[in-house]
Amino acid sequence: MKIKSWHYFLSCFIGLITTELSALPEMIIGESSIKPGISLIFEGGIKDDVQGAKAFLNENETDVHLEVIANWSDNAPSGSPVGGHVAYLDVSALIANEKTNETLTVNLIPHLNMSDNLHYAQNIKLPGAVNETYTVIFKIGPPKAGNIGMHYDWRHQVSKSLTPGGIFEFNNLNFREIALSTRR
């Protein structure tokens, strides 16, 4: 009976965590794909406490946790795990305030959390007020030379397909709800 009770407790606990995470507002900016078989989801997430203070803004200095989720699709090259994270991409974003034309460019670097698992992200301070509108231009490129050893098959099946990569522009974005939300 104790084992059954433990399993019940664990499933309830996991259910509460999942419910809590899914109850948080999330801003899906857009979805797209790039060759060869990479699905992309662009998000404006709620600011978060990310370990590595030198590389990330502190949560209390952040407006938005800008994210790109890159996973292998059904059209991925043979040997790619469908739904698996596509690692070591070169991901950046230019955020432009549509009212003042102020801009900010950031590199989105690998992150790990429980809701998205592996993804690219960065805590950002918007270049203006949270209730203004923004254009975000995401750039997705192949891994930079020297950051990872790339076998012949990857270079010829994947890297060449990504060059020069993808550019994705999203306009008239208002991050107010996300910027004013908190995780805890």
> Left (φ > 0), alpha (ψ -120 to 50) or beta: where does 88 sit?
left
- The per-residue pLDDT for range 48-69, each reduced to its tens digit, is 888 875 777 888 899 999 999 9
Spell out the domains of the chain, with CATH numbers in brackets: 26-180 (2.60.40.2480)
Q: What is the mean pLDDT of residues 137-157?
A: 85
DSSP 57-113: --GGG-SEEEEEEEEE-TTSPTT--TT-B--S-EEEEEEEETTT--EEEEEEEEEEE
> What mean pLDDT comes out for the span 34-41?
92
pLDDT class of 164 with cuts at 50, 70, 90? low
Share of the chain above pLDDT 90, in %: 53
CA distance 21 to 37: 28
Q: What is the pLDDT of residue 49?
A: 85
Global confidence as pTM: 0.82
Choose the weakest-confidence range: 36-45, 57-66, 86-95, 152-161. Answer: 152-161
Rounded distance, CA 134 to CA 142, Å?
26
Cα(175)–Cα(132) distance, integer angstroms: 8
